[in-house]
Homo-oligomer: A and B are copies of this chain.
Amino acid sequence: MALIVEKFGGTSIGSVERINIVADHLIKKHQAGEQLVVVVSAMSGETNRLIGLANDITNSPSPREMDVLVSTGEQVTIALLSMALQQRGNDARSYTGGQVSIRTDDTHSRARIVDIDGAKIKSDLDRGRIVVVAGFQGVDVAGNITTLGRGGSDTTAVAIAAAIKADECRIYTDVDGIYTTDPRVVSNARRLESITAEEMLELASLGAKVLQTRSVEFAGKYKVPLRVLSSFVEGPGTLITYEEEGSSMEAPLISGIAFQRDEAKLTIRGIPDHPGIAHQVLGPISDAHINVDVIIQNASAKGFTDLTFTVARSDYVACMKILNNLVTELNAQDVKGDNQIAKVSIVGVGMRSHTGVANKMFKTLADNDINIQMISTSEIKISVIVEEQHLEKAVQTLHDAFELEKV
């Protein structure tokens, strides 16, 4: 009998009507022979309502009490979903994070799961019960209620799946899977049957925010088979897999194309070259809590060097100000910037064992008169910075060139 963990987020379960739909779905799966653990979030809007109450009391609520407060959101959902399942004849049981010993560290509002005792869950499953667990929450060693922070319910689901050695962990979302690229940009973008966790991480961190990075990392650590599906449309979704040694030979060259708009690029030019330049420039940027993405330092020419990097477009003005101050300090020539750029990345574990992938990307862009401003590579990803106006064309032509519309 397949042992499955399913997770439904706030939108999937955001009303009594939606709870009934999810209950119908679960009963069907259960009757088809699956043992089911269901992890749920707070009904959409509920967490914000609770935060609003706290903000009416104080503008600096203690993290401990915020966790006591917001964790009630999931507790309401588990009770209601269990009632809906019982109404349909299953002897379902709800559990808060504390009740199934989801032990975390004591970092309130962004705690990390340390351990889960799966025994109680297993015992209920063996009696034919559907087990409903509150996502997003746990308890620390002293019994204080903790919450896991953004995307926490995904992590709860994965952690439970690991603890009870589930056959699959299904994350229900508002999309029906992971696509080769954004279907709004490329009309023949294709849903992937499967994708490796590494590729998923590269795609997710590049903007395809379907699953929280943390839950994918967690799933990878315990090799939990993870599937992303839609809670609104039937379908197989996308399975996230883990590479076996040597399996990349058969992997597709490229799995997907990610892109990010709203990027900006800054260059500080003519810096007298000496060790520590990167730190001197990027230190003040980091101190201003600005995340730097792609960084390129030109090879030194005649004792001078240039440093170029990208940031989110919203940080462009602040960044420019910092660099202008640095010009005098570092005795540099000047600062140039461009806040109309975008990043396009091709991702695939296949490129590890195949040469020519980068070259094919660059040639495709050149053939389409798209100038590459910066290049950054990792083992399974190649990113280029292009003018924002060329973004759609770049994504479409790369999708065509790598034939991503074909299985």
Contact = CB atoms under 8 A, between A and B. Distances in A.
A250 to B, nearest CB: 48
A65 B86 contact: yes
A298 to B, nearest CB: 52
A75 B76 contact: no
Contact of A84 (B16, B57, B76): B57
B87 A65 contact: no
A72 interface: yes
18 contacts: A19-B57, A20-B57, A57-B83, A58-B84, A58-B87, A61-B83, A62-B82, A62-B83, A65-B86, A66-B79, A68-B75, A68-B78, A68-B82, A68-B96, A69-B76, A72-B75, A98-B98, A99-B144
Interface in A18-77: 19-20, 50, 53-54, 56-58, 60-62, 64-66, 68-69, 71-72, 75-76
A61 B81 CA distance: 11
Interface of A: 16, 19-20, 50, 53-54, 56-58, 60-62, 64-66, 68-69, 71-72, 75-76, 78-80, 82-84, 86-87, 93-94, 96, 98-99, 143-145
A53 B16 CA distance: 7
A159 to B, nearest CB: 19
Contacts of A99: 143-145
A71 B98 CA distance: 14
A76 B58 contact: no
A50 B69 contact: no
A53 B69 contact: no
A223 B376 CA distance: 76
User: 8 smallest A-B Cβ distances: which pairs?
Assistant: A69-B79, A72-B72, A68-B79, A58-B87, A16-B56, A65-B79, A61-B83, A65-B82
Task: Pick from A79, A80, A96, A145 the residue with the most CB of B within 10 Å.
Answer: A79
Contacts of A20: 57
Task: Pick from A50, A64, A69, A87 the residue with the most CB of B within 10 Å.
Answer: A69
Contacts of A72: 72, 75-76
Contacts of A78: 68
Nearest to A59: B87
Given A54-B83, A65-B86, A99-B145, 9 more contacts: A16-B53, A19-B57, A57-B84, A61-B83, A62-B86, A65-B83, A69-B79, A69-B83, A72-B76
B54 A79 contact: yes
Given A62-B82, A83-B62, A98-B98, A76 B50 contact: yes
A324 to B, nearest CB: 41
Nearest to A87: B58
Contacts of A54: 79-80, 83
Nearest to A143: B99
Nearest to A98: B98
Given A72-B72, A99-B143, A143-B99, A80 B94 contact: no
B62 A69 contact: no
A80 B55 CA distance: 10
A60 B72 CA distance: 22
Nearest to A101: B143
A78 B68 CA distance: 8
Contacts of A83: 54, 57-58, 61-62, 65, 69
